[in-house]
Structure 1
Amino acid sequence: MRTLPTYDDAVLLPGGSRLAVPADYGDLNGHLNVRNYVAIYDDAEWEIFGGMGIGAVEAAAGIGGVFALEQCLTYRREVLVGEEVSSHVRVITRRGALLHVVSYLLNHTRGEVAGSMEALEGWVSFESRRLTPFPDRAAEALDALAAEAAALPWQPQLSGSIRL
């Protein structure tokens, strides 16, 4: 099993808004349903990417969007309905239209990293419906986040199944 960073390390990464897990995100076990982990990871990326010109505004305007191409999910700690969580994103690398990231689900109620989603994503032009290099502003912002992450004193343990 891959190890995850500490809560104190992961909380410093760019993150989405905090959310108290609502009852409708739960399942019959009383904890966060697996399908909603992905929703929380996804919502955080929309929020973070919006500041780079590749978010909801651009998608709604018919310009383009970030598409999921491959994902590797890890679950380490249970998250209960009502607990406060957020997703924090570490950019690994970007090349052309492709982006390699790891998102961490933080449980602020318990001070734990509950899980992760390593992903290969791509910028898709809505005009061509094909992978297209990231817009310059976004490429620069993503590259800066990758450089900041590479300088951190810890490195993520990656799955090995996603490479650029």
Structure 2
Amino acid sequence: MALEQEATYRGTVYPWQCDHVGHMNIMWYVGKFDEANWNLFARLGLTPSYLRASGRGMAAVQQNITYRRELLAGDVIEIRSQLLELRDKSIRFRHDMTNAETGEIAAFCELTAVHMDRSLRKSASFADDVRAIALRHVAEPVGA
């Protein structure tokens, strides 16, 4: 199954996640996108056990969120992710957050993350097996 066909996050907007005007607050968009990050990473072989055993980690270095539609308490949301680019030590990917009832995109987020050596506190090349998995999931450029 292609990576982008399976959700990397499913959840609900709770009343306490809403701001003074009744919309889901931006801090919760970031949190839900973060949960999708870890599901995406695991699918690429960057599992919690791999990261612990190898002394590696992932660090976000850029995150851009675009808000399209408001989300309200009770809305069910789904995030689907695409790997856009794989480099030696970094990846760039996109999450689309949709209202599961309407199918409308509520927000999308493009991130760049760096693969880190946690003891040296510097970037590190991806392992060959992780690279092989990731390369199978890089999305085709639009118009290709």
Residue 130 of structure 2, aligned match among 126, 138, 141: 138
1:4-153 matches, within 5 Å, as 12-61=4-53, 63-146=55-138, 149-150=139-140
Offset of 1:53 from its aligned partner? Answer: 2.9
CA RMSD of aligned residues (A): 2.0
Q: State how far apart, in whole Å, the 1-side matches of 2:119 and 2:50 are.
A: 12
Percent of residue pairs identical: 24
Stretch of structure 1 that moved more, 53-62 or 20-29: 53-62
Q: Which has the higher strand share?
A: 2
CA distance in 2 between partners of 1:60 and 1:22 (Å) = 32
TM-score by length of 2: 0.86
Indicate conservation of the 8 Å contact 2:9/2:32, yes or no. Answer: no
Structure 1 residue 62, shift from structure 2 partner:
6.7
CA distance in 1: counterparts of 2:21 and 2:54, whole angstroms: 40
Q: Which amino acid aligns with 1:87?
A: I
> One-letter code of the match for 2:123?
L
Deviations 1:82-138 (Å, cap 9, x if unpaired)?
A: 111122111111110111111111110221111111111111111211110112222
1:150 alignment partner AA: E
| Per-residue CA distance 1:33-90 (angstroms, 9 max, x = gap) | 1111111111012012123331333445572222110111100111111111122111
- Stretches of structure 1 that go unaligned for 5 or more consecutive residues are 1-11, 157-164
Q: Tell me, what secondary structure is at the counterpart of 1:17?
A: strand
Task: Specify every segment of 5 or more residues in structure 2 that has no aligned partner in the other structure, as ranges.
Answer: none
TM-score, length-scaled by structure 1: 0.76
Relative distance call for 1:32 and 1:15 in structure 2 (3 A) is same
Contact 2:46-2:130 within 8 A present in 1 as well: yes
8 A contact 2:9–2:80 mirrored in 1: no
- Alignment coverage as a number of residue pairs: 140
Aligned equivalents of 1:55 and 1:38: distance in 2? 21
